């Protein structure tokens, strides 16, 4: 029986195909000082954004994520790190949100 469903197939590689190792890392130190904006032809809006200082980054499944290793600047630190709980890549999402909030509020 024919259906009207269409399957979308992308010919472009996914982010996972391009950066399989980086996606399994916890950057652990996302803050405004570590965000680099590269201007293109003098225009920051058409440039690129990069994350610098990956010195504290660790693989997501490594044993140091057990709450004994304190990461990130206190103001951008995720609750699970403050509570010495096991942390995952979610701490980067929290830190990114705190960073964006501080940039928007100019603090």
User: What does the alpha-carbon distance between residue 10 and residue 3 come to, in Å, rounded to a whole number?
Assistant: 21
d(CA 85, CA 71): 12
Please give the structure tokens belonging to residue 74: 């206190």
Q: Which of 43, 71, 39 is nearest to 58 (CA)?
A: 71
Condensed to tens digits (0 to 9), the pLDDT of residues 9-44 reads 556 655 555 555 555 788 889 999 998 888 877 776
Q: How far apart are CA 52 and CA 48, in angstroms?
A: 13
What's the predicted TM-score (pTM) here? 0.68
Query: Coil, strand or helix: which one is 39?
Result: strand
- Right CATH for 27-104 from 3.30.465.10, 3.40.50.720, 1.10.510.10, 3.40.50.300: 1.10.510.10
What is the gyration radius of the CA atoms in the chain, in angstroms?
A: 18
């Amino acid at each position: 029986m024919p259906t009207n469903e269409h399957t979308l197939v992308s010919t472009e590689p996914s982010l996972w195909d391009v950066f399989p190792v980086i996606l399994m890392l916890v950057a652990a130190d996302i803050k405004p000082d570590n965000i680099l904006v590269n201007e293109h032809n003098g225009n920051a809006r058409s440039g690129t954004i990069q994350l610098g200082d990956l010195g504290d980054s660790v693989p997501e499944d490594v044993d140091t994520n057990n709450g004994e290793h304190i990461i990130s600047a206190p103001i951008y630190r995720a609750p699970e790190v403050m509570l010495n709980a096991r942390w995952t890549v979610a701490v980067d999402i929290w830190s990114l949100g705190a960073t964006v909030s501080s940039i928007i509020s100019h603090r």
